[in-house]
Chains A and B, each alone.
Chain A
């Protein structure tokens, strides 16, 4: 993808009532790209979208569109269009007039409008719905009208604010495919806001992971899944076991009381790191020849696989496996070098990646066990340091 940059945000900051909503955001978006802003509610993703749309003026920073600064340009003069979360269809107009709205405002000749509306309705599979009242349509159909309405005026960029959040799961999946198809067919830039990581992974060319007003990571779906930058990204996208570890040397890491070969390098010797292991990357083996051993504390049937929680030295791992194991059974775990992903320590370290809340008995022991765990990891850290000084 060697496309030109169409939108650039430079050092954008926004705050409401003294609270920082966006904290110096830097982001560029290429032409014809499908970019997703992903994050939990309140992370600033919708605010970012509203700044691009022109509905909100940033306090600091520059918004650049096609090489020109557009900070003061009002929404109605921007070549971007928005699909709103609740569609915001005009209830007093029928489907045709909703889709034709932008064209009529632009004083396009009537016959051209008729052709364009017909083309758009066909694009979103709503042929023959011209005269229907929008209130008589289902959620999915209303969504399609909103898409047709925004696309009818040929925007260069389409902004979508959680457009599928209100649809049920089956419909959502269909619409995901359809949106992706429309984007590829028309070749326009989509900037998509969602809190649904699965949606982001399956639709995007680029994912921008955000939390508390900051961009945590920008990358392709495979990048952010396989190479998360910090514990927040690892936890938010997919399931992760995140453990404290120590890089003993390049491609050699110690965590959970054992030493592992890994593929990461470039860390200083003895550096404390976060270790991410995806639940699907762990192999269950017989306890005798395993690197790690633990007891199953919880089993959930998920259809394609079982999700089991394994207690290994007080840390609860989540593991996905197609075979059934009983609660109380002792099993062994084996981890391949390329299943281990190392991350630098960050402000999110220690906040995510432990599945303790899965075990029922744990709730009552909450405070005590947490303290114990802390001291335990502390001990491990001390031991490893001692070991190294001897070396």
Chain B
């Protein structure tokens, strides 16, 4: 039984990671052959990082991910607090479902609809060329927003609702009470929301494809453009770099989640002790 379990686990891992492993392996190949591994070399990585177009795209991607995830986190946190404090349960549930819809929506629908909106509004404003970095940024904030709300809202629900009142009771103004008590209590949710938004923005292709202008290119867009011709091993190198970046970010998210779980477990335990 034990061995069966191990074999099964190994099989799953192979299925998931074999393609990635092959890609990473060939990114270190010294020739551009896709069948023969001629020898270990960093040739394609060198080529990749000397390509100024690629580096420009990388810079753009990171800039977009930073700005959009931070903006989405600010907006999302405020929204989550607003939803949490709603008096009427019915409206609260409705608003919550509405904010969840963009997550369920296929990216292509979100992308096309955003593009349409931008072009439509642009025409109303009398512009011919609306799509740009700014429309891309707005799109990324839009699709990141529900993920932030989804991370922050449960944290708010977990915190003792008397905490805010206790802070008021001790002399804090409502704003002070939020900054000093509520914010620390939901911090882990905000951090994991931020990291998730960053990751999602980093690897988004479909929505970006429809909402970006000609003057701005992100890595996923560039890779797609390049693969239309022939795939060179420097793309393997680039994909490997992206894979590891995402891997590290995911680990950070999980660690943030784990830490907050420990915290909430702690408070649950203390409640039991009570």
Contacts and interface: CB of A to CB of B under 8 A. Distances in A.
A88 B172 contact: no
Nearest to A74: B168
A166 B273 CA distance: 9
A285 interface: no
Given A92-B184, A135-B270, A55 B165 contact: yes
A185 interface: no
Given A76-B171, A91-B263, A92-B185, A82 B270 contact: no
B56 interface: no
A167 interface: yes
B244 to A, nearest CB: 33
Nearest to A102: B170
A102 B171 contact: yes
Contacts of B168: 54-55, 74-76
B274 A142 contact: yes
Interface in A144-179: 149-150, 153, 166-167
A267 interface: no
Given A75-B169, A82-B166, A105 B176 contact: yes
B91 to A, nearest CB: 15
Contacts of A135: 263, 266-267, 269-270
A88 B185 contact: no
Given A91-B263, A135-B267, A84 B176 contact: no
Give the residue among B168, B170, B177, B269 with the most A Cβ atoms within 10 A. B170
A233 to B, nearest CB: 30
B185 A76 contact: no
B274 A166 contact: yes
B173 interface: yes
Contacts of B263: 91, 135
A232 B180 CA distance: 45
A139 interface: yes
Contacts of B169: 53, 75-76, 81-82, 150
Contacts of A133: 266
B258 interface: no
Interface residues of A, number: 33
A251 interface: no
A90 B166 contact: yes
B171 A84 contact: no
B160 interface: yes
B177 to A, nearest CB: 8
Contact of A101 (B170, B184, B270, B271): B170
A388 interface: no
B181 interface: yes
B267 A91 contact: yes
Contact of B170 (A81, A92, A137): A81
B159 to A, nearest CB: 8
A137 B165 contact: no
A75 B165 contact: yes
Nearest to A165: B274
A204 B166 CA distance: 25
A91 B158 CA distance: 12
B63 interface: no
A137 B270 contact: yes
B162 interface: yes
Closest 4 CB pairs of A and B: A139-B274, A102-B170, A88-B162, A88-B166
20 contacts: A55-B165, A55-B168, A76-B168, A85-B162, A86-B162, A86-B271, A86-B274, A88-B166, A89-B166, A90-B166, A91-B185, A101-B170, A102-B171, A105-B170, A138-B273, A138-B274, A139-B270, A139-B274, A153-B171, A166-B274
Given A54-B168, A153-B171, 12 more contacts: A53-B169, A74-B168, A84-B162, A88-B165, A90-B166, A90-B184, A91-B267, A102-B171, A135-B267, A142-B274, A149-B170, A153-B170
Interface of B: 160, 162-163, 165-174, 176-177, 180-181, 184-185, 263, 266-267, 269-271, 273-274
